[in-house]
Amino acid sequence: MKLVKPKRNLRDVLIKAAEKRIQKEGLGALSLRKLAADSGVTPMAAYHHFVNKEALLVQIAIKGFDELGQAMSKASGAASSPQEALTGIMRAYFRFALAKQAQFIVLVPCC
């Protein structure tokens, strides 16, 4: 493993690396040590930003809920009736699940 200088936005880099690994290999394949290796930093650099794997998953969930909420709000705001709003919200939910699979897996781990 070739180590690189610490990145100013390492926290975001680790989150993106985690999402990529979750999408490819599932939640079970996630570890801060693997993410550090994927990102070209030492494990301690990763632990500096996240105390443990659960803390990282919380941040992914927060990001996911925020993005999902924005998409659903936008969909319902453009509707002219409650039925259209509900249909838009449901479509936004399914679009999110397909487009942001890693975040969705963290939000709904049963799937």
pLDDT digits (tens, 9 = 90+) for 68-88: 999 999 999 989 999 999 999
- The reported pLDDT for the residue numbered 109 is 76
Cα-flanking dihedrals φ and ψ of residue 6, to 5°?
Answer: -55, 140
What's the CA angle centered on 63, arms 61 and 69, to 5 degrees? Answer: 95
pTM: 0.84
Q: What is the pLDDT of residue 70?
A: 97
Contact 47, 72 (CB under 8 A): no
**pLDDT tens readout for residues 27-71:** 999 999 999 999 999 999 999 999 999 999 999 999 999 999 999
